[in-house]
Amino acid sequence: MSKAAELANLIGNINAGGGGVNRNVIINGAMNVAQRATSSTGIGASSGYFVCDRWRFSKGGDASDGRFTMTQDSSAPEGFANSMKLDCTTADTSIAAGEFLLISQRIEGQNMQTFAKGTSSAKPFAVSFYVKGNASATYVCELVDQDNSRQISKTFNVTTDWARIELSFPADTTGTLDDDNAKSFELFIWLHAGSTYNSGTLNSSSWASLTNANRAVGISSFFDSTARTFFITGVQLEVGQNPTEFEHEPFERTLSKCQRYFEKSYDVATAPSTASTNGWQGYDAPSGSYGRFRAEFKHTKRAVPTIVTYQHSTGASGKIYTASNGTVDSALAGIGMNRAQISKSGAALSSVSEVGCHWTADSEL
Amino acid sequence: MNITQAQYQAIDGDSIKDEENGSYIKATIDGTVMFVPLDPANRHYAEILKQVKEGTLTIKDAD
């Protein structure tokens, strides 16, 4: 993008109510943070969060076929260090009607209020990202208002070279977004869809009530061959008529944002369930106690989180180390948005004993 | 989510199924043992409730 075009876009977006710093409502759009793992194989049986923070994968229809490996990859366009790569390992060329493969980011309603959706002052949506693949393909980017079941979709093309995709979506004066911490809005990338989702007419010009048949019309299938790959990075969603350059931010700022949704006692680069003494939390518990200690979170969670404890030297989940009794089941108390209390389960300690474990706290949408 | 076990857990004698006292469900989800708070805004608890409603999951009472 030329500097003149960039300036024109920025001015246009400022006039439309956007622009400036903190304009990107997508978290970890540059795929720099991957607290859970940097690679996960055999994905496809169960939806969830596997590699890059905040990026959710979901697959529906036939859970028994279509598998891929997801990695945080060093292939990236100029100015970026990372991308998220999907590599098909089991093809699915018999596409059942209800099948789909999506990657998405779910956004809290309170972080979408700047778009003034559902009001007479509603703002347009500008989406941009960088993609490449093993061969030419067409996929769909969809914006969904989850509070009011409304959506709009646009196709984009992938080639073997990194390409910047810029998509402009109109404002929507229907359906306000809840001002709370729940899932109000979702940006989807459709990579595979059966006739339930692609048998109609792509709804690409204006927002409309969600009709499944109109969501992913005209896309290729990521599962058509084990040669298929898909890379994406630099994802940005902002107020405005035209996408602007990606808003880079320091690693620690992105990590901090991600920790509202997922946090761990492990070092940043160490995946949960890894055997590691770095940062494991514990203390010398008195005799007669349950070895209870507080796991203090660095950041207030979006909601009360799910806690997983890991025995630090084996990585076994649901376990805690005690010097006096070895590895035993763990127990939780007082799980809140800022801390949780972890202890051993069962009988109290019969002597002074070191007690501790690693932990994760998950409050993803 | 593949949830293979779910059981309410009591906290040091507090009554179970009591959010004020911090009770929770211990569940095995996708092969990992998790401690899930009884908060509808928690995605794991929401999925547990969904599967219970669909009749595919039963939450055992606390021991």
* C-alpha A304, offset from chain centre: 18
What is the pLDDT, as a whole number, of residue A14? 73
Read off the pLDDT of residues A138-158 as tens digits, 9 standing for 90 and up. Answer: 999 999 999 999 999 999 999
Task: Give yes or no for a contact between B28 and B5, defined as CB atoms under 8 angstroms apart.
Answer: yes
Of residues A275 and B62, the one with the higher pLDDT is A275
Q: Would the CB atoms of B42 and A304 count as touching at under 8 Å?
A: yes
* Strand pairing category for B3-9 and A293-296: unpaired
* Distance of alpha carbon A188 from alpha carbon A308, whole angstroms: 28
Q: What is the pLDDT, as a whole number, of residue A310?
A: 98
The pLDDT of residue A235 is 98
CB pair distance less than 8 Å for B39 and A45: no
How many angstroms away from the CA of A302 is the closest CA of chain B? 9
Asked if A323 has any chain B CB less than 8 Å from its own CB, the reply is no
Helix (H) or strand (E) holding B32: strand B32-37
Contact B1 A45 (CB under 8 A): no
Q: Hey, are the CB atoms on B35 and A362 less than 8 Å from each other? A: no
Kindly give the pairing relationship between strand A339-344 and strand A326-333.
antiparallel
Specify the 3-state DSSP secondary structure of A252.
helix
Please name the residue of chain A whose CA is at the shortest distance from the CA of residue B20. A334
CATH 2.60.120.260 fits A3-259, yes or no: yes
Q: How many CB pairs under 8 A join A and B?
A: 68
Closest CA to A74 of A50, A46, A39: A39
Distance from CA of A317 to the nearest CA of B (A): 5
Which two three-digit tokens encode residue A27? 């978290």
Q: Pick A306's closest partner by Cβ from B2, B11, B42.
A: B42
Residue B19: pLDDT band with limits 50, 70, 90: very low
Q: Which residues of chain B does A307 touch, with a Cβ-Cβ cutoff of 8 Å?
A: 34-35
A92 contacts A225 by C-beta, under 8 angstroms: no
φ, ψ dihedrals at A152, nearest 5°: -155, 145
Q: Residue B11: what pLDDT?
A: 66
CA A216 to chain centre: 20
- Whether A325 contacts A349, CB under 8 Å: yes
**Cα separation, A267 vs A295, whole angstroms:** 15
Token pair listed for A16: 């439309």
pLDDT at A63: 73
- Supply A43's token pair: 């994905």
Among the partner residues B2, B9, B34, nearest to A306 by beta-carbon distance = B34
Residue in chain B closest to A181 (alpha carbons) equals B41
- For residues A138 and A189, give the distance between their C-alpha atoms in angstroms, rounded to a whole number: 11
| Residue A6, pLDDT score | 74
pTM: 0.93
The complex's ipTM works out to 0.90
- The 10 Å Cβ neighbour count of residue A98 is 14
Q: What is the mean pLDDT of each run of 10 residues along chain A (365 residues)?
A: 75 71 95 98 92 95 87 98 98 93 98 98 98 98 98 98 98 98 98 97 98 98 97 97 94 98 97 95 92 95 98 96 94 94 91 96 98
- Report the alpha-carbon distance of residue A222 to residue A139 in Å, rounded: 9
What pLDDT shows up at residue B21? Answer: 45
Interface of B with A in 2-61 (CB under 8 A): 2, 9, 11-12, 22, 24, 26, 28, 30, 32-37, 39, 41-45
Quick one: pLDDT band at residue B14, thresholds 50, 70, 90? very low
Q: What is the DSSP string of A48-90?
A: EE-SSTT-EEEEES-TTS-EEEEEEES---TT-S-EEEEEEEE
Give CA–CA dist A263/B27, Å, rounded: 19
Name the residue among B12, B28, B44 with its Cβ closest to that of A333: B12
Tell me if A129 sits within 8 A of A104, measured CB to CB. no
Burial class (CB in 10 A: 0-12, 13-18, 19+), A178: middle
Backbone φ and ψ for A5, nearest 5 degrees, come out as: -70, -40
Domain map (residue ranges) of chain A: 3-259, 264-362
The distance from CA A191 to its chain's CA centroid, rounded to whole angstroms, is: 16
Chain A hits for B28, Cβ within 8 Å: 318
